[in-house]
Structure 1
Amino acid sequence: MKYVVELSEPEKKTLQQLSRKHPHQDFRTRGLALLLLDSGRRVHETALELEVSDKSVYNWIHAWHDNGLCGLLVGHKGGRPRSLSEAMIATAIEAASAELMTLRQIAQRVEEVHEVPFPCRLETLSVALKRNRFSYKRGRYSLKKSATPRSSP
């Protein structure tokens, strides 16, 4: 069975932007599939090229016909769940804002408050802080100069 997808110029431009710049791969694939179908490709050819099942392409066509762009942009369930909960991130931001701390000290504070072992690496905590627009700089030790200069041998 051949499904016809006819797109207007604004729809084509929107789907081209979606297929190039959306942060989730599955949404980029959906936009590209509709563009391929609009250019005259068959469903089976499109599915083979995008390495998805025919059923997925049919589902995208139905979603497009029923709800337009909004139909394509629902259902992203990919990716691993975040290891730090929102409450843990809030605790980390609060602790880091209160005083100068290293990442390890912030992680220990989160462990104390939530009474669970810290669930991820310190780099993950750093990324979570940056994602929440918290500018984190590690504390640096200043060079201590001795009162008496060293004598050269």
Structure 2
Amino acid sequence: MTCLPMKCAVELTEPEKKTLQQLSLKHPHEDFRTRGLGLLELGRGRRVHEIAVELDVSDKSVYNWVHAWNDKGLCGLLSGHKGGRPRALSDALIATAIEAARAESMTLRQIALRIEQVHGQPLPCRLETLSVALRHEGFSYKRGRYSLKKSAMSRSSP
């Protein structure tokens, strides 16, 4: 690596290029995909400022990626994911929801009420968020729909 105030170059081996390319395409966190793409572009000889403008980050961020890559390799690049909003449901709230769902057949609203009773506080999120958390644990809930069966509709027709 060579880093001067306006120039920074990274020499990448073929396996490193392939690894960074996969990282830039398939990692679940956008910030890691951005880091991988930034290092690939540096390896191709592009300037830090050009990369920073294209990726909508600061020049300092690109320099930090280079230093992390040189210090710890891929592990350095993958550490420090700080993006995203904090989770609305704590592990304790999710555990209570799972326990309630396993105990008996309940609607999402009933599970939310059980969480509120156990923890003594209102549910800190919408029911859809609770549904997503339960889906991650293997449960699925569908909103009840009102619908008439065909046989009921045909009987009511004159």
Is the pair's TM-score, using the shorter chain for normalization, greater than 0.5? yes
Supply the AA of the counterpart residue of 1:66.
D
SS in 2 for 1:3: strand
Residue from 29, 48, 57 that aligns with 2:53: 48
**Which residue in the other structure is 2:70 paired with?**
65
Q: TM-score, normalised by structure 2?
A: 0.85
Matched length: 146
Q: Distance between the aligned counterparts of 2:35 and 2:9, measured in 1? A: 15
Residue from 67, 81, 92 that aligns with 1:87: 92
- Percent identity (aligned): 78
**Which residue in the other structure is 1:111 paired with?**
116
Q: Distance between the aligned counterparts of 1:151 and 1:28, measured in 2? A: 58
Q: Does 1:96 align with 2:106?
A: no
**Which residue in the other structure is 1:30 paired with?**
35
Structure 2: stretches of 5+ with no match in the other structure: 149-154
**Which residue in the other structure is 1:10 paired with?**
15
Structure 1: stretches of 5+ with no match in the other structure: 144-149
Q: What value does the CA root-mean-square deviation take over the aligned residues?
A: 2.1
Q: TM-score, normalised by structure 1?
A: 0.87
